[in-house]
């Protein structure tokens, strides 16, 4: 075998060092990119929540136009889908696709009359608890209306 043929046979594939360097570079890129993706995902969930709350507000206003009142806390948002007992002029359902869940898979909270607004619609955010910061921040209609 000549020297040229030896080099030709040895030049196939990557060395372990080359593979390790590529893995390290990919890990560094992932470490920079992935946290930003999670931040954008949580921000998008907050935006979706605000949009859904606005949709629920519109449905509640239509309910009131037809019936002369908002659903009670006990009747809840289900009154947008099925008429409560002893109610006249109900012309629903007021939501085409049923009641949405918030982006974290939980029901929206509804209170009428509200303390901060005529009626209150709230999502408790990612943690499902009152209060919170960032992704755990509650989203509601009385603060959403001001933003």
Alpha carbon distance 134, 108 (integer Å): 19
Predicted local confidence at residue 6, as pLDDT: 55
pLDDT band at 115 (very low <50, low <70, confident <90, very high): very high
Take residue 145 and report the two structure tokens written for it. 């209306």
pLDDT band at 147 (very low <50, low <70, confident <90, very high): very low
pLDDT band at 90 (very low <50, low <70, confident <90, very high): very high
What is the average pLDDT across 117-131?
A: 92
Domains of the chain: 42-144 (3.30.700.10)
Alpha carbon distance 103, 122 (integer Å): 12
Please, how many CA atoms are within 13 Å of residue 54, restricted to the half-sphere of its CB?
Answer: 10
> What phi and psi values does residue 111 have, to the nearest 5 degrees?
-135, 130
């Amino acid at each position: 075998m000549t020297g040229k043929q030896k080099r030709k046979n040895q030049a196939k594939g990557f060395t372990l060092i080359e593979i390790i360097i590529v893995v390290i570079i990919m890990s560094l890129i992932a470490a920079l990119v992935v946290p930003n993706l999670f931040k954008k995902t949580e921000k998008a969930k907050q935006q979706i929540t605000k949009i859904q709350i606005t949709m629920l507000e519109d449905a509640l206003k239509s309910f009131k136009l037809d019936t002369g009142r908002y659903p009670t806390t006990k009747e809840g948002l289900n009154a947008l889908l099925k008429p409560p007992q002893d109610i006249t002029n109900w012309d629903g359902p007021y939501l085409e696709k049923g009641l949405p869940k918030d982006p974290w898979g939980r029901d929206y909270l509804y209170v009428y009359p509200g303390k901060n607004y005529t009626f209150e619609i709230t999502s408790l955010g990612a943690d499902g608890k009152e209060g919170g910061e960032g992704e755990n921040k509650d989203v509601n209609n009385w603060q959403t209306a001001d933003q």
